[in-house]
Amino acid sequence: MGEMVSYPNNGGTGTGYLALPGSGPGPGVVLIQEWWGLVGHITSVADRLAEAGFAVLAPDLYHGESASEPDEAGKLLMEMALDTAARDIAGAADHLASLPQTIDGSVGTVGFCMGGSLALWSATLSDRVTTAVAFYPGATWERLSPRWDRLAGKVADIHCSEGDGTSAAPGIQTLQAKITAAGGSCTLYDYPGTKHAFFNDDRPEVYDADAAASAWARTLDTLRTRLG
């Protein structure tokens, strides 16, 4: 089980859920929340990643707030200051890299829905982040204003639900084109018959156990291959 911690974030202080591997140091992973906030589902995923051998920090991008209803979540998302979120995410990557429980090297990001988009965005913010795994990303990229050129040599995996239009959705196709044009690598995975948020086992109305297991295995393989 992990714990809540504070960490420096470029002149300020961020907070997040830190879960560390039990058997020696492991690669660092920044885990990024869905629009609900830093809720139990995210902390449980952090614990699973730690059990798989990773040092994980999930920054609290809503700074103590969370939501259980879509209207609340949408309000929190719109109120989230992107400059602060950028500092929280980049600071989390730097903090992980400084820990003795993290092996030397680059850091990966994993995120869901809103967090999937932010996981990809983080690779355009921090040179330390070299690998991003995004589950059904759905942000408006104009608001994020990413520096796509900073993705050169980096790797992105995107897990797509059928309910969101699969990998053929225009937004996903644009992402892949931008990443590859910048000199990065982008792999798209489709999960037939799935709904948005199919990985979230706290939401039985959308959870798909088979698809989630497949996506999890692919995520671990990418992180282990890229991060050591």
Alpha helices per DSSP H over the chain: 40-51, 70-79, 82-98, 114-125, 141-144, 170-181, 209-227
125-135 per-residue burial string, b: 16 or more CB within 10 A, e: under 16: bbebbbbbbbb
- pLDDT per residue over 195-216, tens digit each? 999 999 999 999 999 999 999 9
pLDDT of residue 139: 61
Structure tokens at 193: 């018959």
- pLDDT per residue over 95-149, tens digit each? 999 999 999 888 999 999 999 999 999 999 889 999 999 999 976 666 777 889 9
CATH of the domain at 68: 3.40.50.1820
Report the domain count for the chain.
1
Q: Which residue range forms the structural domain that includes residue 201?
A: 3-227
CA separation for the pair 140, 222 (Å, rounded): 26
pLDDT of residue 82: 86
pLDDT of residue 195: 97
pTM of the model: 0.95
- pLDDT per residue over 1-49, tens digit each? 799 999 988 778 999 999 999 888 999 999 999 999 999 999 999 999 9
pLDDT of residue 24: 82
